[in-house]
């Protein structure tokens, strides 16, 4: 008898938790952030206009990039920054010969301008100034 009562109480508690969670989720507003999917098929279209800085990542990457790295770069000369998991753009990663993550690539009007690859420890040797200088050099038309 005790076993039946215990199972009944456990079932009641589990049911209460499940149903109360469903009821709660229906009461709050459902707003999903717009997530832009970039893959091998639409990659060229996404980098076709203006400056685009692409951060290639992997779930197993060793070291994260410094968040301050992109301060002042987004919007600098109209630069757009995309963060892409390498598995969704395998052809692009292969063509750029990126093997370690995170790595960065700068494109201007669809053409590759600069690639900064991570070393074996996942460290990318680039600073905010390097990124801005690469953009400025691309604007100058690589005169020097």
CA dihedral over 79, 83, 88, 89, signed as positive or negative: positive
**What whole-number distance in Å separates Cα of residue 38 and Cα of residue 12?**
45
Question: How far is the C-alpha of 45 from the C-alpha of 57, rounded, in Å?
Answer: 20
Give the chain's domain count: 2
Q: Residue 4: pLDDT above 70?
A: no
Residues 22 and 51 in one domain: no
Q: Does some domain include residue 123?
A: yes
What is the value of pTM for the model shown? Answer: 0.72
Within a domain: 60: yes
Neighbouring residues of 85: CB distance < 8 A, sequence distance ≥ 6 = 56, 57, 58, 59
What confidence tier does 11 reach under pLDDT thresholds 50, 70, 90?
A: low
The reply to whether 118 and 58 lie within a common domain is yes
Whether residue 108 lies inside any domain: the answer is yes
Peptide bond into 102 cis (omega under 30): yes
Q: What is the pLDDT of residues 80-120, one digit of tens each?
A: 999 999 999 999 999 999 999 999 999 999 999 999 999 99
Assigned domain for 38 exists: no
| CATH number for position 120 | 3.40.30.10
Q: Are residues 55 and 120 in the same domain?
A: yes
Judge whether 37 lies within some domain: no
Ramachandran angles phi, psi of 32, nearest 5°: -100, 130
Domain that residue 117 falls in? 43-140
Q: Assess whether 17 and 78 both reside in one domain.
A: no
Q: Six-digit token pair at 55?
A: 């951060």
Tokens 């410094």 label which residue? 66
């Amino acid at each position: 008898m005790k076993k039946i009562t215990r199972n009944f109480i456990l079932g009641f508690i589990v049911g209460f938790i499940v149903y109360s969670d469903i009821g709660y989720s229906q009461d709050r507003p459902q707003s999903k952030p717009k997530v832009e999917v970039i893959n091998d098929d639409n990659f060229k279209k996404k980098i076709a206009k203006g400056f685009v800085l692409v951060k290639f990542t992997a779930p197993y990457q060793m070291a994260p990039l410094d968040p301050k790295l992109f301060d002042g770069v987004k919007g600098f000369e109209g630069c757009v920054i995309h963060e892409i998991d390498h598995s969704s753009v395998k052809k692009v990663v292969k063509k750029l010969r990126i093997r370690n993550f995170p790595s960065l690539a700068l494109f201007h009007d669809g053409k590759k301008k600069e690639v900064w690859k991570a070393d074996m420890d996942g460290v990318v040797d680039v600073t905010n100034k390097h990124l801005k200088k690469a953009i400025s050099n691309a604007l100058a038309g690589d005169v020097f």
